[in-house]
Amino acid sequence: MAIESMSTVVDAFLAHAQLEKGLARNTIIAYSRDLERFVASLGNVAPSKLTREHVRDFVSRLEADGLSAASRARALVAVRRLLKFMCAEDLLEDDPSRGVMSPKVGRALPRVLAPDETQALISACGDKGPLALRDRAMLEVLYGAGLRVSELVQLPLSGLDRRGGMLRVVGKGGHERIVPLGELALTAIEEYLDHARGGLLVKAGDRTHALFVTRRGGAMTRQNFFALLRKLALAAGIDRERVSPHVLRHAFATDLLEGGADLRSIQMMLGHSDLSTTEIYTHVGRGRLKDTVDRHHPRGAGAGGSGKAKNTTKPRAKPAGPPGSGKSK
């Protein structure tokens, strides 16, 4: 591999990541942006002369520029992958990023809806007319299968196995997975296909292969579906800022976990490549439990507004019969 500069190496790495590793376009764009900063920080340093200090100086410079810990950590991931590629191509003997500490990033818990709120959102779709049947089917699939919104709107009709109750989903990086559908989601899809989709396709001349289509017969878009969710949230009496396609994906995972599903199964259904990504939902479950205690326990944080429980217990009446025979409140 003929090397003239670090820019040449970065170009080769990005081509490798896109063509051979199949990384998503947005990931390639993010890597390109971060690695452009890295190359600029190096000046005229030759690829073979990279050291650990160069990597550390780059991370320090990002901090001095005011980038958040999350942004610095993401940039360091891009640099690590670049250097790993360089080692594989024999451009470096040792990886200079080894031993460089990644900025600590606090993981924010994903927002979720309570099961009754999710049900209210689905009920807001109604059950009459082709658009109502389509909307209900889309929400049932999003919540019942935990799809990303891009996966939902790009579902082809051929990806549905009606008899087996399965969906073939193409996720990030072109990775394919099979996702089971629950009875309610499958029933909603059946009603949509039998009583709605054909009518919506009339204007398009039945040329689209998308499972979910608009009133004009074209494939749904992410923007259209996001606007639809906001409208349904308003009808359901839920704060629109709390509702998004990803929130329903989080609700799917959280409700599964709290229902007793194991993390590995949830990981497979969500299409996570790393189990640590799925483990965030164990913290969501604990957060729900803490919220329940805070709101309902007499010693919870919500008991008196300041974390101190109000003493609202009435004096217990003496039992009429022998000791132990009285009923406590």
SS (H, E, C) 267-319: HHHHCCCCHHHHCHHHHHHHHHHHHHHHHHCCCCCCCCCCCCCCCCCCCCCCC
Query: Of these residues, 16, 111, 172, 230, which one is catalytic?
Result: 172
Burial 125-162 (b: 16+ CB within 10 A, else e): beeeebbbbbbbbbbbbbbbbbbbbebbbbbeeebbee
Query: Of these residues, 31, 143, 192, 281, which one is catalytic?
Result: 281
Q: How far are the Cα atoms of 19, 42, 170, 172 from residue 12, in angstroms, in the given order? A: 11, 18, 27, 22
Select from 118, 154, 161, 68 the least CA-distant residue to 256.
Answer: 118
Give the Cβ contact number of residue 252 at 10 Å. 23
Task: Give catalytic status of residue 192 as yes or no.
Answer: no
Rounded to an integer, what distance in angstroms lies between the CA atom of residue 144 and that of residue 270? 11
Structure tokens given for 30:
């993010």
Rounded to an integer, what distance in angstroms lies between the CA atom of residue 322 and that of residue 8? 91
Structure tokens given for 81:
């992958």
At 307, which amino acid appears? G
Query: Of these residues, 246, 264, 286, 299, which one is catalytic?
Result: 246
Task: Give catalytic status of residue 272 as yes or no.
Answer: yes
Query: Of these residues, 54, 72, 249, 250, which one is catalytic?
Result: 249
Rounded to an integer, what distance in angstroms lies between the CA atom of residue 197 and that of residue 281? 35
Tell me if residue 251 falls in helix, strand or coil: helix
Radius of gyration, alpha carbons of the chain: 27
Task: Give catalytic status of residue 246 as yes or no.
Answer: yes
Task: Give catalytic status of residue 281 as yes or no.
Answer: yes
Location of structure tokens 């499958």: 186
Antiparallel, parallel or unpaired: β 166-170 and 160-161 = antiparallel
Task: Give catalytic status of residue 172 as yes or no.
Answer: yes
Query: Of these residues, 148, 192, 197, 250, which one is catalytic?
Result: 148
The residues annotated with a catalytic role in the active site are 148, 172, 246, 249, 272, 281
